[in-house]
Amino acid sequence: MGLGLIVFRLLYFSGPFASPDPEAVAAVVDMHCHTAGIGAGGSGCFATEELTSSYKFRYYLEGFGVKLSELEAQGDALIVRRIAEGVRTSREVDAAIVLAMDGVIDDQGQLDRAATQIYVPNRFVRQETEKHPELFYGASVNPKRTNAVELLERAHADGAKLIKWLPAVQQFDPGDRSWLPFYRKLAELDLPLLVHVGKERALAHARDEFSDPKKLALALETGVTVIAAHLGSTGSHENQRDFDRLKDMMERYPNLYGDISSLTQVNKLGYLKEALTHEGFRDRLLYGSDFPLINTPLVSPWFFPLNLEWHRMKEIGELENPWDRDFVLKRDLGVPSEVFDRPGQLLMQPEDFAFLEP
């Protein structure tokens, strides 16, 4: 069995997906980093019992590097502090955009607490990221909120780097024309929209019909910079992979981008190679980690025996810092330096990096 594996590997070892790019990167920003909470310390965060009692929640807490008892004692801000420590001590990643998560909004335009699986309020993420120079604020506004457009203005004024959507879980259709004023405001404020497309399996339930990349056409045509999270990996609509739908759309919309977060997960092997080798994705890919998922058993360098040398899989696996592990794994698999540079160029201002100066 062991010998068979070694022979198989000798025969099929193909090396990195693209030749590793040793070019130095100016500043690496992880533009897709999650936080969460249980409401401890008055954070306003919550997650449903169904989620908090599932095995996934245990993995997420471990990934965040916290225990439930610590959260209860020290408050949900502890998770953001741990993220800041991780990013600060990372040798490769300089900064992270931490994402809020709006909930389900009812027909009166108010938060539907009972239908919301996970909620991470803007106020919490803004307040906590402000305390750490390496962390930046990613707001989340469900467009069904009565004051959605005003909330965009507020997020922008508060320094939000982008607006995060998870329509399949927040339960709205991104293609609905009622969101035109919302899209116009995003375009006016030059506030990018990070949208989950493709299958959503990180939470308990999802309505996949809202994850169709084609539903982003309205935002794109209104001039919004749209970032398709995870490049729509693992989803499909009308018998076409969402990934291929995005390929077609990239040609049509120069304001469409995709992030490579989660593409090293065990359930997505193959997508990173396609992303790096497809000509149409050139100049459109952004580095993101999808922390804490990169710090769970879903991701390991050992999933790439045909692309990485044994000693590299071992060395990467031994890196303590989750961001270092994520960066080095992706770089060794062939992610070019421009992909690591791009979030800083597209989403940040030069003064955001003032803290990096010695």
Q: In angstroms, what is the minimal distance from the CB of 12 to Zn ion? A: 31
Give the interface segment with Zn ion, choosing from 118-126, 154-162, 240-248, 286-294 (CB under 5 A). Answer: 286-294
If the CB atoms of residues 142 and 222 are measured against Zn ion, the closer one turns out to be: 142
Residue 200 lies near Zn ion (rule: CB under 5 A): no
Q: In angstroms, what is the minimal distance from the CB of 183 to Zn ion? A: 22
- Binding residues for Zn ion, rule CB under 5 A, total 1
Looking at residues 111 to 170 of the shown chain, list those that interact with Zn ion (rule: CB under 5 A). none
Q: In angstroms, what is the minimal distance from the CB of 231 to Zn ion? A: 12
If the CB atoms of residues 94 and 290 are measured against Zn ion, the closer one turns out to be: 290
If the CB atoms of residues 165 and 304 are measured against Zn ion, the closer one turns out to be: 165
Q: In angstroms, what is the minimal distance from the CB of 290 to Zn ion? A: 4
Q: In angstroms, what is the minimal distance from the CB of 229 to Zn ion? A: 6
Residue nearest to Zn ion (CB): 290
Q: In angstroms, what is the minimal distance from the CB of 306 to Zn ion? A: 27
If the CB atoms of residues 128 and 290 are measured against Zn ion, the closer one turns out to be: 290
If the CB atoms of residues 54 and 337 are measured against Zn ion, the closer one turns out to be: 54
Q: In angstroms, what is the minimal distance from the CB of 158 to Zn ion? A: 21
Give the interface segment with Zn ion, choosing from 85-93, 144-152, 215-223, 289-297 (CB under 5 A). Answer: 289-297
* Per-residue H/E/C for the chain: CHHHHHHHHHHHCCCCCCCCCCCCCCCCEEEEEECCCCCHHHCCCEECHHHHCCHHHHHHHHHHCCCHHHHHHHCCHHHHHHHHHHHHHCCCCCEEEEECECCCECCCCCECCCCCCEEECHHHHHHHHHCCCCEEEEECCCCCCCCHHHHHHHHHHCCCCEEEECHHHHCCCCCCHHHHHHHHHHHHHCCCEEEECCCCCCCCCCCHHHHCHHHHHHHHHCCCCEEEEHHHCCCEECCEEHHHHHHHHHHHCCCEEEECCCCCEHHHCCHHHHHHHCHHHCCCEECCCCECHHHCCCECHHHCCCCCCHHHHHHHHHCCCHHHHHHHHHHHHCCCHHHHHHHHHHHCCHHHHHHHCC
User: Can you tell me which of 92, 102, 134, 290 binds Zn ion, judged by CB under 5 A?
Assistant: 290
If the CB atoms of residues 198 and 301 are measured against Zn ion, the closer one turns out to be: 198
If the CB atoms of residues 95 and 97 are measured against Zn ion, the closer one turns out to be: 97
Site residues (vs Zn ion, CB under 5 A): 290
